[in-house]
Copies of this chain bind each other. A is one copy, B any other.
Amino acid sequence: MAEAPKNEFWRDLKPIENSQKPDALPEVYLSKVATDDDRYYVPFSDTVGSRPLWINVKDNTWSDVLRAKEAGLVNRHYHPHEVFAYTISGKWGYLERPWTATAGDFIYEAPGEGHTLVAYDSGEPMKTLFSVT
């Protein structure tokens, strides 16, 4: 189980036995995913890279941390899927959309949206967690 409780009121609760249904696929747990270690990032350009966290090769869906060390661009593209984004640091947006995202901001993008991702020079790297499902 997870870390042992101290005085938390749930300390005597028992886990579910056989908690994964037959044929359930493995889960993923990754600590401190928005690392500054370049080795984790696949370069997209001189300033932009992606750290893959999870890839579903059957459905073409994924989660990654997108990072732009300074001003950055991900050329225009189109998503047939839903996209969930949570901004961890820095500043970014889409040329096509009215908002500008900074740390703590959430975005849901509906299937059928085209966009051009831009990262600003904000004094810190832009890091955003994306789940494209």
Contact = CB atoms under 8 A, between A and B. Distances in A.
Contacts of A39: none
Nearest to A21: B112
A93 B24 contact: no
A73 B9 CA distance: 9
Could you tell me the dominant secondary structure of chain A's interface residues?
loop
Interface of A: 1-3, 5-10, 13-16, 19-34, 53-54, 63, 71, 73, 76, 78, 82, 84, 86, 88, 91-102, 104-116, 118-121, 129, 131, 133
B26 A106 contact: no
Nearest to A105: B31
Contacts of A14: 95
